[in-house]
Structure 1
Amino acid sequence: MKIAFICTGNSARSQMAEGFAKYYAKKYGLDLEVYSAGSNPAKRIAPEAIKVMKEKGIDISAQYPKKLEDIPLNEMDLIITLCGGAKESCPTVPGARQEHWDLPDPAAYEGSEEERLEFFRKVRDEIEKRVIKLMEELKEKVKA
């Protein structure tokens, strides 16, 4: 099964989702190919995303923002958009199930460094909860 997490900048939410999905797919013994991409990718991953994921023991520092054309979009079984902008600009892929997780963009959050990190942690934790739920659902389908 192939899953793509799509966001506008592919610098925070979708990168964290990709990291969690790869981690939990392995933990749940699921055979998944996990991708992320952006409709308008940033130049780099937000350093705060890398930092807060490391706090969870997941290293996403080797990941990088990608365009939709950089991933095998037409081969996806499941596409999850993580923001309103991506939902509107994400192409429809015939045969792919599509979900939308409307999450605030931590990269756009303004505040002190600590306030930004705290906001990144909140979004990270919500993504982790949703990814775990998704992995549990996929594990049940494999059993059925």
Structure 2
Amino acid sequence: MLLLKTMKIAFVSRENAVRSIMAEAVAKKVFSDVGIKAEVFSAGTEPAEEVNPLTLQVLEKKGYPTKGLRPKPIAKIPYRKLDVLVTMCNEAKEKCEFVVSHKRRENWLIEEPSGGEASFMKTLEEVEEHIRGLIKLG
């Protein structure tokens, strides 16, 4: 896939501590691996203080870099310059209605994991599947 410019994509969830952080980490690695030039961001409508430790654990276990991953509010990402906005839940979708400059919007209804590592791994696998689908759509 040949892109003439660097795509800007953001993943937004409520706390930016699990799902959107996973999507940021996966997208950065996968896009780079397949040669897609992208700036990847994640944010929360109500950001947590820190990334859930199980999120970092499962990302590292599957080989995704976790350095620099931290929850941040939407105001800290370039939301006015996005090409793609992906909300990870209906709550984030509703709170991101003001973001209108993107060319494409998707809402992935990915449930927040509940429980231990297995639940977080299942959520990560769902995020990976969505990222692969995003790449196929171009």
> Would you call these one fold, judging by a TM-score over 0.5?
yes
Q: Which letter maps to 1:120?
A: F
Partners of 2:67 and 2:28 in 1: CA distance: 14
Per the TM alignment, residue 94 of structure 1 is displaced from its structure 2 partner at its CA by 2.7
Deviates more, 1:40-49 or 1:91-100: 91-100
Structure 2: gaps spanning 5 or more residues: 1-6
Partners of 1:130 and 1:21 in 2: CA distance: 10
- Taking only aligned residues, the RMSD between alpha carbons, in angstroms, comes to 1.1
**Which residue among 65, 73, 76 is the counterpart of 1:67?**
73
TM-score, normalised relative to structure 1: 0.86
> What is the identity percentage for the equivalent residue pairs of Structure 1 and Structure 2?
36
Residues 72-118 of structure 1 deviation map (CA, whole Å, 9 limit, x = unaligned): 00000000000121011113323431100001112xx2x4xxxx211
Partners of 1:136 and 1:99 in 2: CA distance: 14
Per the TM alignment, residue 61 of structure 1 is displaced from its structure 2 partner at its CA by 4.2
Q: 1:72 to 1:46 in 2, by over 3 A?
A: same
Aligned to 1:142: none
Structure 1: gaps spanning 5 or more residues: 139-144
Partners of 1:60 and 1:20 in 2: CA distance: 10
| 1:120 matches 2:120 | yes
Deviates more, 1:97-106 or 1:57-66: 57-66
- Where is the helix percentage greater, Structure 1 or Structure 2? 1
Partners of 1:85 and 1:3 in 2: CA distance: 19
Kept in 1, the 8 Å contact 2:80–2:99? The answer is no
Aligned to 2:8: 2
- For residues 1-144 of structure 1, the aligned pairs below 5 Å read 1-90=7-96, 91-106=98-113, 109=114, 111=115, 116-138=116-138
TM-score, normalised relative to structure 2: 0.90
Q: Which letter maps to 2:110?
A: L
Q: Which runs of 4+ in 1 moved over 6 A?
A: none
Q: Which letter maps to 2:134?
A: L
